[in-house]
Amino acid sequence: MTQAVAEHYQAFKQRGLKLDMSRGKPAPEQLDLSDALMGPLASYAADDGTDCRNYGLGVGLPEARALFGALLGVPPAQVVVDSSASLSLMHDVIVYALLNGVPGGTPWVTQQPVSFLCPVPGYDRHFSICEARGIKMISVPLGEDGPDMDLVERLVAADASIKGMWCVPKYSNPSGAVYADAVIARLAQMPTAAPDFRLMWDDAYRFHHLGDNKTEIADVLAACAAAGNPDRAIVFASTSKVSWAGSGIAALAASPANIAWWTKHAGVRSIGPDKINQLRHVRYLKDPATVAALMEGHRSLLAPKFDAVQQQFAELLGDVPGVSWTRPAGGYFIDLVTPPGAAKRTIALAKEAGITLTPAGAAYPYGVDPEDSHIRIAPSYPSLSEIALAAQGIALSLKLALAT
Ligand SMILES: Cc1ncc(COP(=O)(O)O)c(C=O)c1O
């Protein structure tokens, strides 16, 4: 048996594959869907007459705020549209909170230690922000319908150093978890020892369905407002995986007090965002229906790749004890769960066979998966034929890791 697995793996290695699946990048065909963005702009004037070639409008173009407002279900006045990366907005919210404090609060840096709850497995770049800015991370388990709320409620009620929590509420990275409405209600209502507690609500995959069932989740800002905690959540989104990753537009939605706070601090950082790109995007993306149609184009390219991974894993790993993987209804990732102690070795074997995966442990704070059992699979970038092969190589690597 071990011999057969080793031979199978060696034969696979001979193919000399060279694939980078370490990040969830859109494939070139997905980027091609939005090439119309580069068409000439009929004019440079925004609806309010602003010349978009010039400085100004730190909160974004009125029509860009209206578009994101419609997409996020929030009044435009509660939306700020900035430049391309929502991750930069998350980073800046944390830096402003550390240095200045959130509305009504004192600077977090004066209240050391500062801790964040981190549902795991989670998004490595969230954890990098915390690590780089000196925020202690506390892991909480993430299930299919959200974080372990009994634990979350207990921790935030008891510990005033817990100032925030990362949440990717829909099609989370990497497991595809979707927060249940009851979980969102509890997050909105829960008493927190820290009066200046914030939910960092990263809605990165709000429009990114893979199946026919287009999941909708509860509106966190409305839930927080109804619970008497209107300033608790800050919502982040971008068009990185709608139009172009790195050249899209990003938005932050929050209570009026949080928007005023953001605007004050962001106004020190910049004289205004790239409004030409905002104008280009608004004229191209137009409205939620146009965005939904574009996302269908993405889905038709992405879903077959996810299906190919599912098929290979079912065929090669379906009967391997202790191995499971997620079947996300949207988003960009599959979480392959191995028996304890096998993820690092599998990733190393896959690398030898020409497949670069996200480093083991990346989905955990400080890069340490205590069980060494999670492998993030990012099927988006390789071609359909490559992805089936890559999934086969990953499965063979795992089988060999378990056999030797
Ligand atoms: C959960 C999550 N948030 C944010 C991002 C990055 O978003 P942006 O390109 O808007 O910075 C990603 C990219 O993979 C992601 O998975």
The answer, yes or no, to whether any atom of ligand 1 lies below 6 A from the CB of 282, is: no
Average pLDDT value for residue range 352-376? 97
pLDDT (tens digit, 9 = 90+) per residue, 171-229? Answer: 999 999 999 999 999 999 999 999 999 999 999 999 999 999 899 999 999 999 999 99
- Residue 1 CA to ligand 1 center (angstroms) comes to 42
Give, using CA atoms, the residue closest to atom 12 of ligand 1: 204
CA of 402 relative to ligand 1 center, distance in Å: 32
Report whether residue 171 contacts ligand 1, using a CB cutoff of 6 Å. Answer: no
**Which pair of structure tokens corresponds to residue 65?**
């705020």
> Residues with Cβ < 8 Å from 142, sequence gap 6 or more?
119, 120, 121, 122, 148, 172, 175, 177
Domain ranges for the chain: 2-24+296-403, 42-286
Nearest CA to ligand 1 atom 14: 24
Q: What digits encode the pLDDT tens for the residues 100-127?
A: 999 989 999 999 999 999 999 999 999 9
- Which of 81, 238, 239, 277 is the best mutation target for the ligand 1 pocket, counting ligand atoms within 8 Å of the beta carbon and taking the most? 238
Residue 173 CB less than 6 A away from ligand 1: yes
List phi, psi (to 5°) of 168.
-110, 90
What is the signed CA dihedral for 308, 309, 315, 321, rounded to 10 degrees? -160
Which residue's C-alpha comes closest to atom 3 of ligand 1?
204
Indicate whether this model's pTM tops 0.95. yes
Q: Could you tell me what percent of the chain has a pLDDT over 90? A: 97
**Predicted pLDDT at 144:** 96
pLDDT at 104: 86
Burial 344-380 (b: 16+ CB within 10 A, else e): bbbbebbeebbbebbbbbbbbbeeebeebbbbbbbbb
Stretch (H or E) spanning 375: strand 374-377
Q: Are 144 and 109 in contact (CB under 8 A)?
A: no
Q: Are 125 and 159 in contact (CB under 8 A)?
A: no
> Is 60's C-beta closer than 6 angstroms to any atom of ligand 1?
no
Atom of ligand 1 nearest to the CA of 237: 10
pLDDT-derived band at 1 (thresholds 50, 70, 90) equals low
Task: Tell me the pLDDT tens digit for each residue of 131-180.
Answer: 999 999 999 999 999 999 999 999 999 999 999 999 999 999 999 999 99
Question: Does the pLDDT value for residue 353 go beyond 90?
Answer: yes
Give the pLDDT mean for 316-330. Answer: 97
- The CA 216 to ligand 1 mean position distance, Å, reads 19
CATH topology of domain 2-24+296-403: Aspartate Aminotransferase, domain 1 (3.90.1150)
Q: What is the pLDDT of residue 275?
A: 97
Beta bridge partners of 137: 116
Higher pLDDT, 1 or 361: 361
pLDDT at 404: 84
* Rounded average pLDDT over 239-246: 97
Average pLDDT, the chain: 97
Band the pLDDT of 259: cuts 50, 70, 90. very high
pLDDT of residue 245: 97
* C-beta of 86 in contact with ligand 1 (< 6 A): yes
Q: Hey, do 2-24+296-403 and 42-286 end up sharing a CATH topology, with the first three levels equal?
A: no
Residue 378: enclosing H or E segment and its boundaries? none
Ligand 1 contact via 9 beta carbon (within 6 Å): no
Over the stretch 294-315, which tens digit does the pLDDT of each residue have? 999 999 999 999 999 999 999 9
Tell whether domain 42-286 is in CATH 3.40.50.300: no
Q: Is 236 in the pocket of ligand 1 (CB under 6 A)?
A: no
Ligand 1 atom 15, closest CA:
204
pLDDT digits 0-9 by tens, 273-297: 999 999 999 999 999 999 999 999 9
**Tokens 């008493």 label which residue?**
191
Ligand 1: centre distance to CA 87 (Å)? 6
Q: What is the pLDDT of residue 165?
A: 98
Mutate to test the pocket of ligand 1, among 88, 202, 381 (most ligand atoms within 8 A of CB): 202
Question: Which ligand 1 atom is the nearest neighbour of the CA of 332?
Answer: 16
Which residue lies with its CA nearest to atom 2 of ligand 1?
Answer: 204
Q: Half-sphere exposure (CA, 13 Å, Cβ side) for 286? A: 9
Atom of ligand 1 nearest to the CA of 333: 16
**Residue 86 C-alpha to ligand 1 middle, in angstroms?**
7
Give the nearest ligand 1 atom to 240 CA: 9
Q: What pLDDT was estimated at residue 2?
A: 84
> How do residues 11-30 score in pLDDT, each as one tens digit?
999 999 999 899 899 999 99
Interacting residues of 89 by C-beta distance below 8 A, sequence separation 6+? 82, 236, 250, 251, 252
- N-to-C CA span, the chain: 11
